[in-house]
A and B are shown apart, each in its own frame.
Chain A
Amino acid sequence: MKETPLSNCERRFLLRAIEEKKRLDGRQTYDYRNIRISFGTDYGCCIVELGKTRVLGQVSCELVSPKLNRATEGILFFNLELSQMAAPAFEPGRQSDLLVKLNRLMERCLRNSKCIDTESLCVVAGEKVWQIRVDLHLLNHDGNIIDAASIAAIVALCHFRRPDVSVQGDEVTLYTPEERDPVPLSIHHMPICVSFAFFQQGAYLLVDPNEREERVMDGLLVIAMNKHREICTIQSSGGIMLLKDQVLRCSKIAGVKVAEITELILKALENDQKVRKEGGKFGFAESIANQRITAFKMEKAPIDTSDVEEKAEEIIAEAEPPSEVVSTPVLWTPGTAQIGEGVENSWGDLEDSEKEDDEGGGDQAIILDGIKMDTGVEVSDIGSQDAPIILSDSEEEEMIILEPDKNPKKIRTQTTSAKQEKAPSKKPVKRRKKKRAAN
């Protein structure tokens, strides 16, 4: 499916909100969404959820012959796939640009930074080395795939255990997990990507953009760092022009964020380790929250009804009787009559209240008496200013002005005074001047 385009309204809304330092989900400019890490039953399998973006990472290993120019080093292979379930726009043939970009970024971040000791993956130099393959699948796309994918990759690598191997002279023995416990990989450091989205030609920046923000951004800067504040990768993409101090500032922010995320990862790994050791339940099934809707069962919430009767009586006593609505038909011309008035048009509230509204008709008015409602609507009488022009036969002469911000509906009132006033509050209080049409 083609991606549904973002409407101009939404784009403008998002950009204006960003200019006012507001984000749709209420985060601050430098805040990350909630990160949840859960592990599967096998070693090396994990799911990372960054807000709603979900990435599954799986590490596997195989004994292969090494590359010719690097005979003593193991091989690392990364593959990120954008699964079709992640977003409707992801189709088997269509995603090449984004896919290439993400894959290259993952490769550079994890391979070139030498986070894994590849020499330790060598079994027999020149003949047999371990090939570690990291497969990442994007399960749900809600923005910022890169960060989630990098966290998933590094967590999966840290969690993974490879089978133990021993070399005696010419003999190489590969032990199964039952014979000897699998061995973890030797990881030097954990590079984590932090994404910065730029808006309005670099004037505003946001950390961890979600999907909507990504659609309106001008460009993206990705900085991969580890907790020792070493930068592993910087990549700027999109059409933005950066300045040197922007880059330096982003790297400082990235340092802080990476420290937090690394702590979270270590804690998650530790928890999982503990659960496995204690023999508790682990795996994806356990980490998916139990959200069950029990039908035909409603929790009874106890309510105190002891003084309800008294309260009801009070309310009834204080309320005044409802007003009588008098409406006599008005004859405009032979054949055209009008009974009653509609509710006053409240669009005029937004305009300048100095403008006098000449409404062509309506001497008949429905007048609301001052009903004191418990909602606390205040009602004020307007004292007559100039000579009040009383037009109708109705007995009710009081005019009620309802403050626009408390009660949006105004009933057209009988005209007494001419001018409209401007109330001191932000929204003007309107009074309409009614000219009497020809009888």
Chain B
Amino acid sequence: MAGLELLSDQGYRVDGRRAGELRKIQARMGVFAQADGSAYIEQGNTKALAVVYGPHEIRGSRARALPDRALVNCQYSSATFSTGERKRRPHGDRKSCEMGLQLRQTFEAAILTQLHPRSQIDIYVLQADGGTYAACVNAATLAVLDAGIPMRDFVCACSAGFVDGTALADLSHVEEAAGGPQLALALLPASGQIALLEMDARLHEDHLERVLEAAAQAARDVHTLLDRVVRQHVREASILLGD
């Protein structure tokens, strides 16, 4: 769209945020009774739902069981009504497969799989709104915590972009569609280790550090929020139990 400024002269973005500001995040844990763990997260207009089953016995071929670790299985599904134009195939297409693989890679690194040998952990993520990988990862983290599966640390993800020499944190759909460079980063906040790093579109090497730093800072902010959500949830649960 011509004439749409992603970053105004006063430093405001299209939706009125500053360069390093995140969108409003609201999350709830334990939304489904049947699943071992579930979570719902809203990041601006992007809504993601994650459900975790496990650890349970390997379904399907026993041969896939790993003798010393658990198998993490992730599936990503994007609702047909999520994008501007109705999508025809919600899952099975390449992008969903790739997203599933990336989620799996992220969580295999974060979940302490050694504690559950020969078992399987399933993570299903449903995303409404052509949003980003970040909301999926955040939702999945909360769901895994809700299920009580031990993890090394929270996995917090955030996206970042680069416009006019400034790094923007947490891109909205409009900013993504504009076609500038986008970086998606999944971080373990305590150690600062990057579980997954993905970047698209051209970015000059000199700016890489700034964008990485902006994404890392945003991920740490997300961590503060998620931490608060988890503590709130635990407090509510203990009140219900009458502690």
Q: Which residues from chain A sit less than 8 Å from chain B, CB to CB?
A: 69, 96-97, 100-101, 103-104, 108, 112-114, 189, 221, 225-226, 228-244, 247-248, 251-252, 255
A-B contact pairs, 11 of them (CB 8 A): A230-B204, A231-B205, A231-B208, A237-B101, A237-B105, A239-B109, A241-B191, A241-B194, A243-B194, A248-B208, A251-B208
Q: In whole Å, how far is A254's beta carbon from the nearest beta carbon of chain B? A: 8
Cross-interface CB contact of A112 among B188, B193, B200, cutoff 8 Å: B200
Decide if B203 touches A239 in the complex (CB within 8 Å): no
Contact of B202 among A100, A232, A239, A251 (CB under 8 A): A232
- Complex interface: chain B residues within 8 A of A251 (CB): 205, 208
Interchain nearest-CB distance for B221 vs A (Å): 17
In chain B, positions 134-157 with a C-beta closer than 8 Å to chain A are none
The interface residues of chain A, by DSSP majority, are classed as mixed
Q: Which 7 A-B pairs have the closest CB atoms?
A: A241-B193, A234-B199, A242-B194, A239-B109, A104-B98, A236-B197, A230-B202
Contacts of A112 in B (CB 8 A): 200-201
Alpha-carbon distance between A165 and B108 when the two chains are bound, in angstroms: 52
Contact call B109/A241, Cβ cutoff below 8 A: yes
Please tell me the size bucket of the interface on B: 35 or more
The distance in angstroms between the C-alpha atoms of A255 and B204, with both chains bound, is 11
* CA–CA, A233 and B98, complex, Å: 15
Q: Which of B192, B202, B209, B216 contacts A114 (CB 8 A)?
A: B202
- CB contacts (< 8 Å) of B179 on chain A: these are 114
A100 with B98, Cβ < 8 A, contacts A237-B105, A251-B208 known = yes
Q: 1/0 per position for B47-79, CB-CB distance to A under 8 A?
A: 000000000000000000000000000000000
Residues of A within 8 A of B201 (CB): 112-114, 232
Task: For residue A422, give the distance in angstroms from its CB to the closest CB of chain B.
Answer: 44
Asked if B5 is an interface residue, CB under 8 A from chain A, the answer is no
C-alpha spacing A96/B181, complex, angstroms: 28
- Rounded to whole angstroms, the CA-CA distance of A232 and B182 in the bound complex is 10
Chain B neighbourhood of A228, CB < 8 A: 204
Contact between B200 and A230, CB atoms less than 8 A apart = no
CA distance A348 to B18 in the complex (A): 75
Alpha-carbon gap, A103 to B193, bound state (A):
27
The listed residue (B95, B101, B197) touching A242 by CB distance below 8 A is B197
Contact of A255 among B198, B202, B205 (CB under 8 A): B205
Is the C-beta of B6 less than 8 angstroms from some C-beta in chain A?
no
Q: Are A235 and B197 in contact (CB under 8 A)?
A: yes
Q: Verify if B196 is at the interface (C-beta below 8 Å from A).
A: yes
Q: Is B169 an interface residue (CB 8 A)?
A: no
Among A104, A228, A234, the one with the most B-chain Cβ atoms within 10 Å of its Cβ is A234
Residues on A with C-beta less than 8 A from B183 are 234
Pick from B95, B199, B202: contact of A104, CB under 8 Å: B95
Contact B199 A231 (CB under 8 A): yes
Q: How far is B153's CA from A136's CA once the two chains are assembled, in angstroms? A: 40
**Is A234 a contact partner of B197 (Cβ separation < 8 A)?**
yes
A100 contacts which of B97, B193, B203 (Cβ < 8 Å)?
Answer: B97
Q: Which of A100, A104, A241 has the most CB of B within 10 A?
A: A241
Tell me, in angstroms, the Cα distance from A104 to B206 when the chains sit together.
Answer: 26
Contact B205 A252 (CB under 8 A): yes
A236→B203 contact, CB < 8 A: no
Chain A neighbourhood of B102, CB < 8 A: 237
Q: Does B213 contact A (CB under 8 A)?
A: yes
The answer to whether the Cβ of B94 comes within 8 Å of any Cβ in the partner chain is: yes
For window 190-232 of B, CB contacts with A under 8 Å fall at 191-206, 208-209, 212-213, 216
- Docked Cα-Cα span, A233 to B204, in Å, equals 11
CA distance A69 to B85 in the complex (A): 10
Contact A100 B194 (CB under 8 A): no
- Asked whether, in the complex, the Cβ of A100 is within 8 Å of the Cβ of B101, the reply is yes
Which one of A104, A247, A255 contacts B194 once the chains associate, using CB atoms below 8 Å? Answer: A247
Known contacts A101-B101, A241-B188, A236 near B204 by CB under 8 Å: no
